[in-house]
Structure 1
Amino acid sequence: MVLKVIYELVKFLKKPDDSRIQLTPKEKIYFLLRLFVFNAVIFLAFLPLLVLVAEETESEFKRNTDYTEAIVAIGAILVMPVVEEFIFRYFLRYDRINPKLISLKKWNAVFPWLVYFSAITFGAIHLFNFSFSSNSWLLLPALVVPQFITGLVITFLRVRLNFYYGILYHMLWNFSFFMVIPFLVDLIPE
Structure 2
Amino acid sequence: MTISYPLIKPKYYKSLLIDLVSFIKSPKNKTIVEKSTTNKIYDTIGLFFIKVVFSITVASLLQFIYDPENLTSISMTKRFSPLLLLLVGGIILPLFEEITFRLSLKFNPIYFALTSGTFTYYILTKPVFKSRLSLVDETFWYRVIPAIILLMIIFLFSSTKPIKMMLQNFWQKHFKMIYYFSCISFAWLHIFNFELNLTNLLWLPILTLPQLFIATIAGYTRVAFGFQYPLLVHMSTNILFLSLTFLPLD
Bin of the TM-score, shorter chain as denominator length: 0.7 to 0.9
Deviation, 1:58, is 4.2
Q: Distance in 1 between matches of 2:221 and 2:245?
A: 23
1:84 aligns with 2:78: no
| TM-score (ref. length: structure 1) | 0.82
Change (3 A) 1:78 1:52: farther
Deviation, 1:115, is 0.4
Aligned residue identity for 1:93: K
CA RMSD of aligned residues (A): 2.7
Aligned residue identity for 1:68: S
Aligned residue identity for 2:32: I
Q: Distance in 1 between matches of 2:167 and 2:228?
A: 24
SS of equivalent to 2:195: strand
1:2 to 13, 19, 23: 13
Stretches of structure 2 lacking an aligned partner (at least 5 in a row): 1-11, 110-158
Query: Which residue number in structure 1 is paired with residue 175 of structure 2?
Result: 111
Deviation, 1:179, is 4.2
Aligned residue identity for 2:218: I
Identity value in percent: 25
SS of equivalent to 1:131: coil
| The 10-residue stretch of structure 1 (113-122 or 53-62) with the greater mean CA deviation from structure 2 | 53-62
Q: How do 1:1-190 and structure 2 match up within 5 A?
A: 1-22=12-33, 23-51=35-63, 55-63=67-75, 65-94=78-107, 96-97=108-109, 99-104=164-169, 106-132=170-196, 134-179=198-243
Q: Distance in 1 between matches of 2:88 and 2:174?
A: 33
| Preserved contact between residue 88 and residue 122 of structure 1 (Cα < 8 Å) | yes
Q: Distance in 2 between matches of 1:68 and 1:115?
A: 36
**Higher RCO (CA < 8 A, seq sep 6+):** 1
Stretches of structure 1 lacking an aligned partner (at least 5 in a row): none
Deviation, 1:38, is 1.0
| TM-score (ref. length: structure 2) | 0.64
Aligned residue identity for 1:115: Y
Change (3 A) 1:170 1:54: farther
Deviation, 1:15, is 0.5
Change (3 A) 1:107 1:55: closer
Give the number of equivalent residue pairs: 182
